[in-house]
Structure 1
């Protein structure tokens, strides 16, 4: 087995990546819409959910309370004496970025999870940082990510945990593209996340041919 990130896919896509550098860059919104029998697609990709405990009182009490950080930032436009009632409310926020996903490594567990979805090939990403650099550079050239002196991306492991938090006890949590629910943990996923330019909405998946990627990859099987 290998210690390099492993990208599982259908053989024809693996051949295209290894031969000409053909690659598909997805988005979090795209991932939210995918259907793979619950094995891959998480409909809550890039989301955070805050729940608010019950509140009944004047708006000024809500503003002065340290226990309703997110509510204070989310509920506006009321006069200080206006009555506010919150009953089992929740807030749902999402973020969208360009993303490329792989498994942390090729193992029996990750291979089994991939084969359960019908994937019959695997490509090792033998130089993950250069791999991300090449993709980010193309996105930057097309104005799809913020301009910077160096390409912008983050390469990190996914954390498998809940996205929900008690907004009455904690400030607003920003949406995190590296969180998935525990049921997907068999993927042992890592991600290259490319922050999108705010003026570029909505985002759509992109197919590129980037020959520079060929040297970053090797066939696992």
Structure 2
């Protein structure tokens, strides 16, 4: 992974290119409806995992249905107890704790830029690893964080069937299919303060060496 692309209003990208000004958002802040189209997502960090049992019995042995009852903490039963079940629906809701988040795209195209309301300029981050290493150093001067990495977002339904092996993809790295044209790359930081967090705008001219202006695609 070498490059990523930031689509934004020209005034914001100009501030990045001249002053190293950058806003690091939060997972929960993205839920706000006040954000422009392409950024606001009221379901950020949430998902539901479900499992349906048409018919089963505790006498069936170690089946996926029996494992589901245990993993979903549905109910417990003692040894030599037989319980018959029909039409049972299990569900577990996940609401990921708030985190610092910065988003870019791995795709340089007009299709991506159209996804972000008001975006009229593009900055290429030419060295993603170097950029986020430097950004992490700057962020740590402001607050206590651990960098959790940068990864591609997975586009999928937030209602997921249980596979029988864990709880699936981290809900902080999921977006619904309607956002798939963004081809998002997401960097995340875990706050170590154990207090509510808010977006941070910082200024670091050391970021400039990783950024170049690109013509709008």
* The two structures share one fold, judged by TM-score above 0.5: yes
The residue aligned with 2:149 is: 154
1:121 CA displacement: 1.7
| 1:108 counterpart (89, 107, 110) | 110
| 1:181 counterpart (169, 176, 180) | 176
The residue aligned with 2:91 is: 90
1:6 CA displacement: 1.2
Q: Which deviates the most, 199-208 or 96-105?
A: 199-208
Name the CA shift for 1:65/1:39 in 2 (closer, same or farther; >3 Å). same
The residue aligned with 1:11 is: 10
1:105 CA displacement: 2.6
Aligned partners of 2:181 and 2:4: how far apart in 1? Answer: 14
Aligned partners of 2:205 and 2:155: how far apart in 1? Answer: 33
Aligned partners of 2:150 and 2:163: how far apart in 1? Answer: 32
| 1:211 counterpart (200, 205, 208) | 205
Structure 1 unmatched ranges of 5 or more: 147-151
**Per residue, is there more strand in 1 or in 2?**
2
How many residues end up aligned between the 2 structures? 210
Name the CA shift for 1:171/1:158 in 2 (closer, same or farther; >3 Å). closer
The TM-score, its normalising length taken from structure 2, stands at: 0.77
CA contact (8 A) 1:125 1:217 kept: yes
Alpha-carbon RMSD across the aligned residues, in angstroms, is: 3.3
Structure 2 unmatched ranges of 5 or more: none
The TM-score, its normalising length taken from structure 1, stands at: 0.76
Aligned partners of 1:141 and 1:71: how far apart in 2? Answer: 46
